[in-house]
Structure 1
Amino acid sequence: MTLIDLTVPRLQRGRLSELPVAIIGAGPVGLAAAANLVERGIDFVVYESGDEIAASIRQWGHTRLFSPWDLVIDPASRRLLDAEGWQAPASRRLPTGTELVTEYLEPLAAIDAIASRIRTGVRVEAVTRLGMDRTRTARRASTPFLLRARTADGIEEFTAGAVIDTSGTYSQPNSLGSSGLDPLGLAEVADRVSHALPDVLGRERDRFAGRHTTVVGAGHSAANTILALAELARQAPGTRITWLIRNAGAVRVTTSENDGLAARASIGRRVDALVDAGLVEVVDRFEIVRLGRTDGGVRIHGARRGELVEHDTDVVVSATGFRPDLAMLREIRVELDEIVEAPKRLAPLIDPNVHTCGTVEPHGFAELTHPEPGFFLAGMKSYGRAPTFLLATGYEQVRSITAWLAGDVAAASNVELVLPATGACSTSLAPDGSAPGGSSCGEPVGGPAAKGCCS
């Protein structure tokens, strides 16, 4: 592992201090970074690829989070909002993605000190150093960053004194193929393959009602979709559901009674009940090799228990998880774990084989530092392929990073984070999404499963 000097903030050195900090992504963590920089008096620019802030969240806005409002509001952002006379939502209520945007992120982004520094419709495609590729070392730490981005006017370039990449992973789904590569034939059936967390009961209802849907994936995004499809099946006769998984069982969904996130355990129980009732067909140990088009849908070619098999369906939902876009970082020096693709120092703390959302240790700038001085991954992207991320964790990440950039090494090093305690979650909510009994996580009664605390 490369030895890195963690004691001297690079932003305070020379011409870098005259340049803004570039924040990539205007989601919850990116805007939290902006709020912390406002409090620190450090200039910044937020580059958002979508036409509006929080573009990714808007795509799954119909889904309710497990985390209540008091865990999804960044402290620095709350202070700025309170100064504007903002009324915070009820602390124990669980927001949907849309509510998170409209009731919190949009008011935050509208604050003058932040609104004036947001550029939407700017997709950063590469980060490097001005005038040098990743192989050049001399004067590297004092050289500005260069961001190349695609905008409505073409290709533009921007310079920055530091970079906080909070661009997330939602736009980079994992492959349907068991090899990690897109299966052969995917392009031919792309119009019949859905993204994760489709709005089955809302704007995309017609795509699924009365049809056979095969959900691919063994995590909570898959389970959420299965529960929504089951509700649709009750409303629209002829709606069929197949759950296709690569392993012998969906261990991340079928959780024990001792699961600290009781709402997550509730999802497993509800899906199990659907399977036991014959409402969901499970096809396990299925490795997708190739996709083909039929007159009415998709033919999935795969291997199961050593034999070649075929599975026909009308629609495929790809709920196989997400991965970070690392191509844009090709010319800077990042040090990533070889398995989960998270920063090397962070990876052991978030290994999904060991940790759940609530057992990740607090961490800050030190665990997120790379051999590229002044560059940080934060938020969901910092977790690579690990699905254990909490918004509260991302907020503490950027608080620590911005403190370090401001030269406050003591504050940056004093990393504290209180996550939901094991056993503190409730299994039910009131119809308005409020969490009874002081619980920290939950899901709406009778509705589709929520997006988890790992949001």
Structure 2
Amino acid sequence: MSGCCGPTAVELEPSRQAAQPGDLPIVVIGAGPVGLAAAAHLAERGLDFVVLEAGEQAGASVARWSHVRVFSPWKYDIDAAARRLLEAGGWNAPDAEWLPTGAELIDDYLAPLAELFGDRVRTGAKVSAISRLGYDRVRTAGREQAPFLIRLADGGELHARAVIDASGTYATPSVLGASGLPAHGEADAGELVDHALPDVLGADRDRYAGKHVLVVGAGHSAATTLLALAQLEDTPITWAIRAGSAARAYGGGEADALPARGALGTRLHAHVTSGRIRLITGFFTHALERDVEQVRVISRDPSGAEQSVSADRIVAATGYRPDHTIAGELRLDLDPILGSTRALAPLIDPNAHSCGTVPAHGAAELAHPEDGYYAIGVKSYGRAPTFLLATGYEQARSVVAALAGDWEAARDVRLDLPETGVCSSGLAEAQEQRVGLATGISGGLLGTPLPLATAGASQGGCCG
């Protein structure tokens, strides 16, 4: 099947593959929003490519939070090159002002886009490692002329002229332990711990209804889950955060630039004030002790003071982190704090930036010493929870331009966002008044780094 953009890239036996990288396809890892955006830009520039998706469908990570509605309207969720290719094939774009669920993002955008590329998108193709053919990380002479070697989990291998890693972070959630290390006993209690955004009111309802649920984390994903749990009768809820106050989690209320986000905090505050949700502050998860079908979670703060709570289930809404293991034999220049590139780190540092204040950036900031390898999307942000889909799309455009040798376009990075970023969108409240949110929850996924868009994903970011 040729798809929209010429013959499908074919995996060859190593002995038959071309010796020169320029004769090989560019491999994109991940068929989420940003990975498929990269594919769209590659298609427009006539560059051969293949997309490797670990899941069984395009947007596999998005499908895991399909019940959640995002904070960004469609006009920020569709890549420009993808839109042009889709519209050329007769596709009609969704309402630009609508806030899609994860399911809508797949059905109305990602699935049609992947179908357009035909067999160039390979599902069930999990990448286990990336290297240079015949070169480990130490060897230098002739390195840049060697093709990339991509090894799959099933033992198959491909060669590529370049690699765009848009695999996100959704598969690597952060641990419950407050110091960044797994809490003692965390692995033993694993089957009672879920990560951010379970479908509390839908597919996962029976796992939570009537159970005492502990939610750990102070972001929008935690708030979304707490509000869903509050709709289940006879379901005790405890919310544990490290901070001494939940004021930051409550946000600006009616003054919030994004009404849905403000409503999220306002409703959460009301449930805490009424006692429907029990809030524990200063909670530093240190250990988990499982007792058959319950788990006791013990906090030990920096002074050594302890407190504990017992629950039937735990939702760990503690964020995500990048996993660079597959690139262990490549030469990466990673910031020691965030895990992004060193050049990108000061632009996305969550101590200084929100999602709306991160400046436009592209290939120059995403480049590694390993020429031809780029991580884009939420994975490029490392642990920073400030990622936006629109930002990932601009990354994809810039990186593809660089790989095409168009450095003028690669350096001309721009973001067409409202004055304060997507976070200032005032559309959520109006939409909720029009039809109500499908899940009965105001708000959405993008309060933590998920594969949105995610990232995860990917995935994620604070708003879109």
Q: TM-score, normalised by structure 2?
A: 0.88
Q: Is residue 183–residue 288 contact of structure 2 (8 Å, CA) maintained in 1? A: yes
Helix, strand or coil at the partner of 2:156: strand
User: How far apart in 2 are the matches of 1:420 and 1:134?
Assistant: 43
- Which range is displaced more, 404-413 or 258-267? 258-267
- Which range is displaced more, 444-453 or 160-169? 444-453
User: How far apart in 2 are the matches of 1:34 and 1:192?
Assistant: 38
Shift of residue 445, structure 1, vs aligned partner? 9.6
Helix, strand or coil at the partner of 2:155: strand
Please name the residue that 2:223 is paired with: 223
Please name the residue that 2:113 is paired with: 108
Deviations 1:67-102 (A, max 9, x none): 000100000000000011001110000000000000
Please name the residue that 1:429 is paired with: 430
Deviations 1:396-449 (A, max 9, x none): 1010111111111111111111223334424513358779xxxxxxx7795343
User: How far apart in 1 are the matches of 2:248 and 2:133?
Assistant: 44
Please name the residue that 1:246 is paired with: 242
User: How far apart in 1 are the matches of 2:100 and 2:187?
Assistant: 36
Counterparts of 1:252-331 in structure 2, within 5 Å, are: 252-256=248-252, 259-304=256-301, 306-331=304-329
Flag the 1:21–1:252 CA change in 2: closer, same or farther, 3 A. Answer: farther
User: How far apart in 1 are the matches of 2:147 and 2:168?
Assistant: 23
The alignment yields a C-alpha RMSD, in angstroms, of 1.9
Code of the aligned partner of 2:75: D
Q: Is residue 331–residue 369 contact of structure 2 (8 Å, CA) maintained in 1? A: yes
Question: 1:130 and 2:133 equivalent?
Answer: yes
Code of the aligned partner of 1:429: A
Q: TM-score, normalised by structure 1?
A: 0.90
Code of the aligned partner of 2:127: V
Helix, strand or coil at the partner of 1:353: coil
Q: Is residue 74–residue 99 contact of structure 2 (8 Å, CA) maintained in 1? A: yes
User: Which blocks of at least 5 consecutive residues in structure 2 are unaligned?
Assistant: 1-18, 447-461
Deviations 1:8-59 (A, max 9, x none): xxxxxx9221111110100000000001000000001111111111111000
Q: Is residue 253–residue 265 contact of structure 1 (8 Å, CA) maintained in 2? A: no
Flag the 1:252–1:103 CA change in 2: closer, same or farther, 3 A. Answer: farther
User: How far apart in 2 are the matches of 1:434 and 1:206?
Assistant: 26
User: Which blocks of at least 5 consecutive residues in structure 1 are unaligned?
Assistant: 1-13, 436-442
Code of the aligned partner of 2:252: S
Please name the residue that 1:454 is paired with: 463
User: How far apart in 2 are the matches of 1:143 and 1:288?
Assistant: 47
Which of 67, 76, 86 aligns to 2:81? It is: 76
Q: Is residue 99–residue 431 contact of structure 2 (8 Å, CA) maintained in 1? A: no
Please name the residue that 2:9 is paired with: none
Code of the aligned partner of 1:260: A
Helix, strand or coil at the partner of 1:231: coil
Aligned residues between the structures: 426
- Which range is displaced more, 216-225 or 414-423? 414-423
Deviations 1:299-341 (A, max 9, x none): 1122146322221001000110000111111111111111111
Code of the aligned partner of 2:212: H
User: How far apart in 2 are the matches of 1:46 and 1:251?
Assistant: 43
Code of the aligned partner of 1:169: T
Question: 1:41 and 2:46 equivalent?
Answer: yes
Counterparts of 1:21-170 in structure 2, within 5 Å, are: 21-111=26-116, 114-150=117-153, 154-170=154-170
Flag the 1:445–1:324 CA change in 2: closer, same or farther, 3 A. Answer: closer
Which of 335, 341, 344 aligns to 2:342? It is: 344
Deviations 1:352-407 (A, max 9, x none): 11111111101110010111101101000000001111101100101011111111
Code of the aligned partner of 1:419: L
Flag the 1:188–1:278 CA change in 2: closer, same or farther, 3 A. Answer: same
Code of the aligned partner of 2:89: E
Question: 1:386 and 2:384 equivalent?
Answer: yes
